[in-house]
Structure formats: C-alpha cells, structure tokens
Amino acid sequence: MSREEEALRRALTGAVPPMREAPELMRAVEARMRRGRARAWAMSMVVAAGIGVALMATAPTFLTESGRGQPGTGVATSSGPEDATVRTAGCATRTSPPAMSIGGTPQPANQGALSAVAQRLRVHADRHFTDVFTELELRPESDRIRVSRKPSAAFDEWVRRDFAEDCVEVVDARFSARELRAMVGRVEVELPYWLRQGIRVTSLSIAVDGTITLDVPGDQLERARTEIPRRYPDLVFAIERGGPVVWQSGS
C-alpha cells in the first residue's frame, strides 16, 4: 500500500464519531444519509464529509437531498437537482479525478484534498455565517464541494475570495442549519412521548429542504402517519416503515 493510500485509509477510519450512550427512555435516533444521485462510493465520502469533519456532530444528520412534501401530509414527493448560483474560479479547471484502490475497492484520489477544503470552509461558516449556512457535501466524482446556504451576498463574496483556487459551488437553501436543528429538535425532544403513545421512532433525520424523515415499525405506520403530522402541522414529514434501532451520534 502506498503512503497516499495509507493516509486516505487513516482519514476515512477517523471519520466515524464515537457512539453515544442510549437515553434511558428512548432508543437512539439513527441519522440516515439518502442520496439519489450519488454513486455507492460517493455515498461513503459524503458520510465522511457529513460526520467525520465535525459536520453537524451535535445534531441529527442533515440530508442534502430528500423528498419534498406539504406540511402535515406525512408524505414527500421527489425533488430535482439544484443549480449552483455561485461557482468559484477554480471550477473552470476541475475534471473528474483519477481513482485509486484500497483493498481492491475503487476510491477517489482527491478525497484528502476535498476534506481539507471542507473543514476550512465549515469552520469559518459555522463561526461567521450561522444565520445563513446550511450544509456542504463532497463531490469527489467532479472534484468539487457543494455548499447550501440561504441567499447571502456576503457569504458568496467570502467563498469566491477565499476559495478561488478550489472548486466550490453554492446553492440556495430555504433554511439555515440552526433553523433545521430547531425544527427536528421539536420532534426529537418528544420521542419519549411518542413511545408512550405506542409509536416507536427508530430513525430520525432532516433534509436541507426541511423534510423530516421518520421510520417506525410497520404495525405502527398508519397511526404514525396520522398522529405525528397532526401534532406538528407546520412541519413536513416523510414517515416510512423502519428497520431495527441503530445508535448514532446526535443531539
């Protein structure tokens, strides 16, 4: 194994956060990453970006793509790809990078460089653009980073200036990360309540469009689709049949 491959292996291994202890009343919230347009290997890179680089380490995972629905319906419909409103100068020269292999599994050769850019961008955005910054994702297949934010001229100017040599795309979002945390937090804090009502939520996540996805056991699905949206009429839900409970870091 080459030195570069070994460094990438260490980076990916260190990307997974420690598991937290279960709350006494409720099984943990499983943050799930769904990405309709990502390849299988890109999925693992997104998880590394969303979790390993301290991306929302204290909140349920924010999904960069999700179905869109109507408040209170409990059902989401599919959404299309977003067009970037801002691209840095470095995007003009970016092409698909060559792949490398670890243990016979193809991996993008640019993972380390993209992770470093993502870390630098997120740290500053979390400190100085809390009101508008939403999320970012790595796109190794096109050698770039995509950032979601509420429209902000100041944010866009900072990205253009400080990341001119990198390829960073900026897309519009309806909500900031802080707003998304507040929305999903309203549901998460009441998971013990729902358990007492006979509805066990085994998975909870929120997309950048504000869609909250819940998984519940199949025999509780119809009740959950009726009762949960009724309690939060201003929120958008996608309530699905869930699998086993999985512990995951979250708020």
Question: What is the share, in percent, of the chain residues with pLDDT greater than 90?
Answer: 51
Confidence band of 41 (pLDDT split at 50, 70, 90) = very low
- What pLDDT does 13 receive? 52
- What pLDDT does 21 receive? 38
Instruction: Please state the rounded mean pLDDT for residues 243-249.
Output: 48
User: Where do the structural domains in the chain lie, given as residue ranges?
Assistant: 3-8+26-57+82-175
Nearest to 69 by CA among 60, 78, 61: 78
Could you tell me the CA-to-CA distances from 19 to 37, 118, 202, 248, 251 in Å, in that order?
Answer: 28, 23, 16, 6, 12
Residue 99 has pLDDT above 80, yes or no: no
Confidence band of 155 (pLDDT split at 50, 70, 90) = very high
- Which phi and psi (to 5°) does residue 216 adopt? -140, 160
Which residues, 6 or more positions from 159, have their beta carbon under 8 angstroms from its beta carbon? 86, 88, 121, 147, 168, 170
- What pLDDT does 49 receive? 34
Contacts 24+ apart (CB under 8 A), 148-157: 148/64, 148/82, 148/172, 148/173, 148/208, 149/125, 149/173, 149/176, 150/174, 150/175, 150/176, 151/85, 154/129, 155/125, 155/129, 156/85, 156/86
pLDDT digit string, tens, across residues 3-15: 656 655 565 555 4
pLDDT digit string, tens, across residues 159-217: 999 999 999 999 999 999 999 999 999 999 999 999 999 999 999 999 999 999 999 99
* CA geometry: angle 235, 236, 240, nearest 5 deg: 125
pLDDT digit string, tens, across residues 48-81: 333 232 223 334 445 544 334 444 433 333 333 4
- What pLDDT does 215 receive? 96
Instruction: Indicate whether this model's pTM tops 0.85.
Output: no
- What pLDDT does 109 receive? 76
Confidence band of 251 (pLDDT split at 50, 70, 90) = very low
